[in-house]
Amino acid sequence: MRLGICFGIMCLGLAAVASTPAKADLIGSGTNTVDPSFYLGADVTADQENEGTQTLVSGLHYGPGAQSETSLDFTGTQITLTNDLAQPYCSGTLPCTDSFTGFDFVFSSGVDITSVSVDVASAADFSPTALTLVSPNEILLNLTGVNAAVGDQLKLDLTFPGSTTSAPEPLSLALFGTGLAGLLALRHRRSTLPGSNA
């Protein structure tokens, strides 16, 4: 009987350790892509630095675009824009009358974004005019008239299905399961002792 309990505990522990949760973020299984385009006065100028569609990996970096003069960095749950030019996002002079000057981030169909927001660590002068989640795989970032200082960063936080709740780690579950199995074994042992009523 003890051998069966020990075997059950070992199987529970191995199952808990071997299970890996699904990764809900931009990187996903490693096949997700992004194609950021910069619009100047509502006319698309070009893909960011003409690099076009790239596979998303943590640390993906697009250098400053010829028109946007903005660097882009991607991680699993964040997009960071770094301003590299001391002039406003506008096709003319201020006050800017552009209907849209900014970025259109188009991701592959494997990306499932549920919300996007500006991170509190963003520079105060790099606040977007509008930030819109068009679909689960497209974000419009309107920067019309924004006049951020060189080196200032705008950080966009992304959330995904299930990413707002934390799940226990597999080892925590294994430890919990082992403790529970131990309590059951102790109860079983007490019930088999002569003179026990349990």
∠ CA(164), CA(167), CA(168), 5° rounding?
150
Q: Does the pTM of the predicted model rise above 0.75? A: no
Question: Is residue 91 located within the same domain as residue 187?
Answer: no
* Confidence label for 81 from pLDDT (cuts 50, 70 and 90): very high
Question: Is residue 39 located within the same domain as residue 129?
Answer: yes
**For the chain, how many structural domains are there in total?**
2
Question: Is residue 127 located within the same domain as residue 182?
Answer: no
Question: Is residue 62 located within the same domain as residue 134?
Answer: yes
Residue 27: C-alpha distances to residues 21, 60, 169 (Å)? 14, 10, 20
- pLDDT value at 149 more than 60: yes
Question: Is residue 96 located within the same domain as residue 9?
Answer: no
Question: Is residue 12 located within the same domain as residue 69?
Answer: no
Q: Is residue 26 situated within a structural domain?
A: no
* Confidence label for 192 from pLDDT (cuts 50, 70 and 90): low
Q: Is residue 164 situated within a structural domain?
A: no
Give 73's strand partners: 61, 80
User: Which H or E run includes 60?
Assistant: strand 60-62
Q: Which structural domain, as residue segments, surrounds residue 42?
A: 33-159
Question: Is residue 14 located within the same domain as residue 41?
Answer: no
How confident is the model over 67-81, as a mean pLDDT? 90
* Confidence label for 109 from pLDDT (cuts 50, 70 and 90): confident
Q: Is residue 121 situated within a structural domain?
A: yes
Q: What number of residues does the chain have?
A: 198
Question: Is residue 73 located within the same domain as residue 113?
Answer: yes
Question: Is residue 67 located within the same domain as residue 111?
Answer: yes
Residue 161 has what pLDDT? 87
